[in-house]
Amino acid sequence: MLRVEHIGIAVKSMAESQQLFETLLGAPCYKHEIVESEKVTTAFFQKGETKIELLESSDPEGVIAKFIEKKGEGLHHIAFEVEDIRAEMERLKSQGFKLLMEEPKRGADDKLICFVHPKSAGGVLLELCQTIKQ
Ligand code: ZN
């Protein structure tokens, strides 16, 4: 793993939270993106090398809506940038980590992503992400 690429935060209201984080970070949101497959709207902020990704559910049945129902708003996942996501998935699998998907899929921000189950990662949902080279 190369570095923490971003931190994902589940929010109820994108409008409210975006304003809050703009004030908090002193940086504007530089991108919104809808990820249809995850039923989620995202907003990105950049601070140094690390980004903050706000996640708002676009569907009451979506994973973020369910997460907020159970745990409330807040930290949702930590994403690590990797050079070769398939190799990293193999490495983690061989060491007993439970992955939430068999194949990487396309996430927000031009990334291939895969989630690692929080039960095998100290209670934290981890995301592996590899930048898709244009
Ligand atoms: Zn993420």
pLDDT digits (tens, 9 = 90+) for 1-47: 899 999 999 999 999 999 999 999 999 999 999 988 889 999 999 99
Provide the pLDDT for residue 38.
87
- Asked whether 81 and 2 are in contact (CB, 8 A), the reply is yes
Closest among 67, 90, 81 to 111, alpha carbons compared: 81
Q: How far apart are the CA of 94 and the centre of ligand 1, in A?
A: 23
HSE, CB side, 13 Å, CA atoms: give it for residue 39.
Answer: 11
Query: 67-93 pLDDT, tens per residue?
Result: 999 999 999 999 999 999 999 999 999
Instruction: Name the E strands within 1-134.
Output: 3-11, 31-35, 40-47, 50-57, 74-81, 105-107, 111-116, 126-131
Residue 56: the pLDDT is 98
Query: How far is residue 54's CA from residue 44's CA, in Å, rounded to a whole number?
Result: 7
Supply the pLDDT for residue 64: 97
Ligand 1 center to 31 CA (angstroms): 14
How far, in Å, is the centroid of ligand 1 from the Cα of 99? 15
List the end-to-end C-alpha distance of the chain, in Å, as a whole number.
21
Average pLDDT over residues 48-63: 95
Instruction: Give pLDDT, residue 86.
Output: 97
> In angstroms, what is the span from residue 95 Cα to ligand 1's centroid?
23
Distance 96 CA to ligand 1 centre (A): 22
Angle made by CA atoms 10, 78, 45, in degrees to the nearest 5:
65
